[in-house]
Amino acid sequence: MSTDVLPQPLWKPGRALLEQSNLKKYMDWLFVKRGLYFRSYHDLWDWSVTDLEDFWESLWLYFNIKSHDLYLEVLQRPKHGMIGTKWFTRSKVNYAEHVFRNKTKDRPAIIFQSEQSALTEISWETLETEVAAVAAWLKQRGVRPGDRVAAILPNIPQAVVAFLATNAVGAVWSSCSPDFGKTAIADRFSQIEPKVLFVADGYFYNGKTYDITPFAQELSFSLPSVKDTVLINNINAENRPERLTSWEDILHLENFGIDFEPLSFDHPIWILYSSGTTAKPKAITHSVGGCLIEHHKALILHQNVKPGDRYFWYSTTGWMMWNYALGSLLCGATLVLYDGAPAFPSSQTLWTLAEKAKITHFGSGAAYFIASMKAGVSITSENLHALETIGSTGSPLPPEAYEWIYKYVKKDVWLISLSGGTDVCSAFVGGCPILPVYPGEIQCRMLGCRIEAYSEDGKPLIDELGEMVITQPMPSMPIYFWNDEDDEKYLGSYFEMYPNIWRHGDWIKVTDRNSVIIYGRSDATLNRGGVRIGTAEIYRAVESIPDVKDSLAVYLEKGNGEGTISLFVVLSRDKTLTDELKQHIKDVLRKEYSPRHVPDTIEQVSDIPYTINGKKMEAPMKRILMGQDPAKCINLETMRNPESLKAFV
């Protein structure tokens, strides 16, 4: 239940934001054009998830979505459930075409920096010329709408060019970061049978150079569907392996501008992948129209991205945040890319980039901000005068990280914590420019996202922990999983627990102020005496102890309905887990939270298992510790640090 003491906000929107934000302009438009007046954000949200057709149609009109055919119906529901929902039937759109509506000579399209290259600007004219050349080459090589184009590329401008060209001709994009293992990439791309493969000859990370040319050649030959492999020289300009097409040669091809292919709203735009911690990763397929309208909504209304802003999110091409950040180009913003390790050569690297590139919107995974806080990063906020928002996602951002940002980064910045996923290539809960920011809380449920916290028997809860569910369809939900006959994997991923209700697998609380707190993955939730505990609470308390660098908590059920909480800790250099330290950890958890949070066992390990995208592998470790075969629980090539498993197997 609610406590009597109300938390104090760390930030409140100023008058200018309240009056001039994109969200306020949209609300004013609704009043003038539709006669709809909303006193508060929550009233607006309630309308957006109740009157779905009017809401999504209003966005179509407000953002002036260009269709090559008039739509017949905004929403066409299936007989049962959400799978098969149709949006804006008969409309024909193109994501890349909407990106190039913003071309201008007044500002660059992309700003790029890497470990090896200084800050570089890429004009809209250059971007358009290169996209036109690659699109012309794709057509010349027989790539047609619906064909798949795959990429193994670092976060470099050529990846953006290749995606825009792919979408322009109506093909389906899918990318992996080059630090994925060979098997991990083959497991993904073999499912979707790409016709063309874009590869880099290598990448830079943490001061080291990695040549992947032999691996790229081997992979291209092992995928029978691949007819052409294009090599981008990223580490060696002289690299010209036989039987591979040169990126530079493509750019010199004659072309006559970009001919954007009109695509049905539900035509696939890209294929993203589940983490693949157990079986082969699921190939989650999104629609052109769904991502187009969702990214307009999420970035313009919820993050207040405007023409001329500079938008940055630290990501690899294998994380959905790369695709999401592309949406900033729809808003008329300049997309800022960085390729390399976030803390090389120092913890200041990305913060220095924010200063030099005059970044307006700076985003990264929550782990990055926690690491910056622990490293004692010193930032002079005067140097970040352009910075308006800081975005965080990937895992829950603890309250002390919120406070660190306001104390040590910038006191008047708007901190936007997001949570969503690969499943919708966007966020379900996120920022709101007309609401305050409270420590540890996400500001709001996003427009059009009917999010509830459900009890086990399917009742919505307020100010109590519950399963995060989505009870109404959204346009950016997957159209299908690739090669998923009868939607078996789709249904199994989201709809098993509550019939026709999307269960996302997060453990959340919707406060009585309609903000949201995420406590971690519900499939890794700790259960003590019937009281459910999110792992994020454990980590927040334990990792505040100076001697503890990292931790992992796992709940192990017993046959009698009871269970134990096991805590694994990584300690600072030369520290050993003594009985005194164990007791201190237990005392902190008891004091900060409750006796129920105190683990039954505490063990020291050298490292905590993480996915490549930086998420703690709670559920797979739980299955391994319950005695399941590790080979069936985890794919090593989806791991950032597979050697960490030794302590658990």
What would the pLDDT profile of 37-63 be if each residue is shown by its tens digit? 999 999 999 999 999 999 999 999 999
Residue with tokens 């054009």: 33
What is the band of 2 on the pLDDT scale with cuts at 50, 70, 90?
very low
pLDDT of residue 537: 78
Q: How many CB atoms neighbour CB 286 within 10 A?
A: 29
3-state secondary structure of 17: helix
pLDDT of residue 133: 97
Phi/psi at 551 (nearest 5 deg)? -160, 160
Q: pLDDT (tens digit, 9 = 90+) per residue, 450-507?
A: 999 998 888 999 998 889 999 999 999 999 999 998 999 999 999 998 989 999 988 8
Beta-sheet strands, E only, within 319-450 = 334-339, 361-365, 389-393, 414-417, 419-421, 426-430, 444-445
Alpha helices in 348-445 (DSSP H): 349-356, 366-374, 399-404
Beta-sheet strands, E only, within 70-181 = 75-76, 86-87, 92-93, 110-114, 120-122, 148-152, 172-176
Q: Is the pLDDT of residue 533 over 80?
A: no
| Percent of residues, the chain, with pLDDT higher than 90 | 72
Listed range (252-261, 550-559, 566-575) with the worst mean pLDDT: 550-559
Q: Do domains 92-517 and 525-645 have the same CATH topology?
A: no
Average pLDDT over residues 260-282: 86
Q: Which CATH class is domain 92-517?
A: alpha beta
- Distance between CA 462 and CA 453 in Å, rounded? 7
Per-residue DSSP letters for 23-68? HHHHHHHHHHHH----SSHHHHHHHHHHSHHHHHHHHHHHTT---S
Q: 36 or 244, which is more confident?
A: 36
Q: Is the pLDDT of residue 104 over 50?
A: yes
Phi/psi at 217 (nearest 5 deg)? -65, -45
- Distance between CA 496 and CA 161 in Å, rounded? 39
Kindly state the DSSP code that residue 610 receives in the 8-state scheme.
B
- Torsion over CA of 419, 155, 216 and 214, rounded to 10 degrees? -130
Q: Is the pLDDT of residue 413 over 80?
A: yes
What is the band of 648 on the pLDDT scale with cuts at 50, 70, 90?
confident
3-state secondary structure of 499: coil
What is the band of 529 on the pLDDT scale with cuts at 50, 70, 90?
low
Cβ-proximal residues to 202 (8 Å cutoff; 6+ apart), any chain: 178, 209, 210, 211, 212, 213, 234, 235, 236
Q: 529 or 487, which is more confident?
A: 487
The token pair that represents 86 in the structure block: 């149709």
Q: Which of 600, 603, 605, 634 is nearest to 618 (CA)?
A: 634
What is the band of 541 on the pLDDT scale with cuts at 50, 70, 90?
confident
Cβ-proximal residues to 472 (8 Å cutoff; 6+ apart), any chain: 49, 52, 82, 450
What is the band of 349 on the pLDDT scale with cuts at 50, 70, 90?
very high
- Distance between CA 330 and CA 101 in Å, rounded? 8
- Distance between CA 297 and CA 444 in Å, rounded? 14
Q: Which of 229, 260, 292, 243 is nearest to 95 (CA)?
A: 292
Average pLDDT over residues 116-136: 96
- Distance between CA 599 and CA 138 in Å, rounded? 57
pLDDT of residue 576: 94
Beta-sheet strands, E only, within 59-158 = 75-76, 86-87, 92-93, 110-114, 120-122, 148-152
Kindly state the DSSP code that residue 611 receives in the 8-state scheme.
B
pLDDT of residue 563: 77
Q: Is the pLDDT of residue 290 over 90?
A: yes
- Distance between CA 514 and CA 46 in Å, rounded? 11
- Distance between CA 556 and CA 539 in Å, rounded? 17
pLDDT of residue 3: 45
Average pLDDT over residues 338-365: 94
Average pLDDT over residues 100-105: 97
Instruction: Give the residues across from 209 on adjacent strands.
Output: 204
Instruction: Give the residues across from 588 on adjacent strands.
Output: none
pLDDT of residue 276: 57
pLDDT of residue 69: 95
Q: Is the pLDDT of residue 1 over 50?
A: no
As a whole number, the mean pLDDT across the chain is 92
pLDDT of residue 275: 66
Highest mean pLDDT among 414-418, 536-540, 645-649: 414-418
Q: Is the pLDDT of residue 636 over 90?
A: no
- Distance between CA 142 and CA 134 in Å, rounded? 13
Instruction: Measure Cα distances from 21 to 10, 311, 328, 413 in Å.
Output: 19, 17, 16, 15
Alpha helices in 383-435 (DSSP H): 399-404
Residue 497: exposure state from Cβ atoms within 10 A (0-12, 13-18, ≥19): middle
pLDDT of residue 336: 98
**Do the beta carbons of residue 525 and residue 517 sit within 8 Å?**
no
Amino acid at 293: I
Beta-sheet strands, E only, within 168-274 = 172-176, 196-200, 202-205, 208-211, 228-232, 245-246, 263-264, 268-273
What is the band of 623 on the pLDDT scale with cuts at 50, 70, 90?
confident
Total residues found in the chain within this entry: 649
The token pair that represents 242 in the structure block: 């036989």
pLDDT of residue 454: 94
Residue 509 host element (H or E): strand 502-510
Amino acid at 206: N
Residue with tokens 């958890």: 589
Phi-psi region at 175: left, alpha or beta (left = phi > 0; alpha = psi -120 to 50): beta
Q: Is the pLDDT of residue 597 over 90?
A: no
| Percent of residues, the chain, with pLDDT higher than 70 | 97
pLDDT of residue 559: 55
3-state secondary structure of 134: helix
Q: What is the largest CA-CA distance in the chain?
A: 73
pLDDT of residue 407: 92
Highest mean pLDDT among 213-217, 242-246, 314-318: 314-318
Cβ-proximal residues to 631 (8 Å cutoff; 6+ apart), any chain: none
Strand 480-481 to strand 283-287: parallel, antiparallel, or no bridges (unpaired)?
antiparallel
What is the band of 562 on the pLDDT scale with cuts at 50, 70, 90?
low
Residue boundaries of the structural domains of the chain: 92-517, 525-645
Per-residue DSSP letters for 223-250? -TT--EEEEE-SS-TT---TTSEEHHHH
pLDDT of residue 75: 97
Fold of 525-645: GMP Synthetase; Chain A, domain 3 (3.30.300)
Average pLDDT over residues 391-397: 88
**Do the beta carbons of residue 439 and residue 403 sit within 8 Å?**
yes
| Full 3-state SS string of 517-543 | EEEEEHHHCEEECCEEECHHHHHHHHC
